[in-house]
């Protein structure tokens, strides 16, 4: 009986995922009740309950007590934890994160330069215009994340947005640590300066300048990488 339940559970999960892929189910949509799913698919309600639990663990669905089960309205969270775990299990490195980040942000900036309106670029660049004096490393890390996430959200490529969402979680493991070290060395202006350089390139719609600004902003030289991993950052470290 357990084997049959597991098989039916997988069938239900596959059906829901297929409906999402085909667009029959969208974020925020309410799933049929246990009884409706049980009757329509000719499976036990126990199988339906197991399927709903599986969808919840995948981040695809969420249950609201007294209301029912719904397709998540925050789909970016569905790939976040599994991919972060796979990255760790595969011995992912800081270089892996930085290389992918540079590729994504460079491509997104090209997209912005070609397609974004001037007011959209101005709105993103307004996020770079903050007074870093008196900010803690944590507060500056929040502002840094907000600026870069806003850039990527302007991409017309949905898949890039989801990949970057996961990448942001991996970056958070070292973002504040980097900024804490530059803060202690009185070099925390470097982060905002890097944002300004990116904004100047976007405003001028200069793809080459944007690529250079991103690479320089995110660059970590060999000495700094080693110091970051060991917990001490030297004076003169570049890139956040």
Task: Return the higher-pLDDT residue of 222 and 90.
Answer: 90
CA distances from 79 to 12, 63, 159 (A): 20, 19, 11
Count of beta carbons in the 10 Å neighbourhood of residue 171: 23
Mean pLDDT, rounded, of the chain: 82
Closest CA to 167 of 94, 61, 70, 233: 94
Sign of the C-alpha dihedral, residues 114, 117, 118, 120?
negative
Domain boundaries, the chain: 2-75, 80-230
Predicted confidence (pLDDT) at residue 201 exceeds the cutoff of 50: yes
| Residue 165, beta-bridge partner list | none
- Assign 64 to helix, strand or coil: strand
Task: Return the higher-pLDDT residue of 227 and 237.
Answer: 227
- Assign 185 to helix, strand or coil: coil
CA distance 204 to 188: 26
CA distance 175 to 31: 39
What backbone phi and psi angles, to 5 degrees, belong to 30?
A: -85, 135
CA distance 197 to 205: 12
Task: Return the half-sphere exposure (C-beta side, CA atoms, 13 A cut-off) of residue 41.
Answer: 25
Closest CA to 187 of 130, 128, 127, 239: 239
pLDDT at 226 (0 to 100): 59
**Quick one: CATH architecture of 2-75?**
Orthogonal Bundle (1.10)
80-230 is a CATH 3.40.50.2000 domain:
no
127 contact partners, CB below 8 Å, separation of at least 6: 143, 146, 147, 150, 195
Closest CA to 98 of 212, 1, 184, 174: 174
Predicted confidence (pLDDT) at residue 17 exceeds the cutoff of 90: no
CA distance 63 to 201: 45
Closest CA to 71 of 90, 95, 43, 52: 52
How would residue 75 be classed by pLDDT, with cut points 50, 70 and 90? Answer: low
How would residue 232 be classed by pLDDT, with cut points 50, 70 and 90? Answer: very low
Closest CA to 152 of 202, 196, 188: 202
Predicted confidence (pLDDT) at residue 103 exceeds the cutoff of 80: yes
Q: Mean pLDDT, to the nearest integer, of 164-168?
A: 82
How would residue 81 be classed by pLDDT, with cut points 50, 70 and 90? Answer: low
């Amino acid at each position: 009986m357990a084997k049959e339940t597991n098989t039916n559970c997988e069938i239900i999960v596959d059906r829901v995922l297929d409906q999402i892929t085909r667009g029959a189910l969208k974020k925020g949509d309410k799933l049929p009740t246990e009884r409706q799913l049980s009757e329509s698919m000719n499976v036990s309600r126990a199988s339906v309950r197991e399927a709903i639990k599986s969808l919840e663990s995948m981040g695809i669905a969420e249950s609201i007590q007294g209301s029912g089960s719904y397709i998540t309205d925050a789909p970016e969270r569905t790939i976040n934890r599994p991919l972060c775990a796979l990255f760790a299990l595969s011995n992912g490195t800081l270089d892996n994160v930085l290389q992918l980040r540079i590729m994504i942000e460079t491509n997104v900036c090209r997209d912005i330069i070609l397609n974004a309106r001037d007011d959209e670029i101005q709105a993103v660049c307004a996020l770079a215009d903050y007074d870093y004096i008196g900010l803690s490393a944590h507060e500056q890390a929040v502002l840094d994340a907000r600026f870069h996430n806003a850039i990527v959200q302007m991409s017309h490529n949905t898949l890039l947005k989801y990949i970057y969402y996961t990448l942001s979680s991996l970056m958070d493991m070292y973002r504040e640590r980097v900024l804490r070290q530059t803060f202690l060395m009185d070099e925390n202006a470097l982060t905002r300066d890097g944002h300004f350089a990116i904004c100047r390139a976007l405003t001028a719609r200069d793809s080459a300048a944007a690529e250079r600004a991103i690479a320089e902003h995110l660059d970590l030289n060999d000495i700094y990488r080693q110091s970051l991993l060991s917990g001490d950052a030297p004076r003169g470290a570049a890139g956040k």
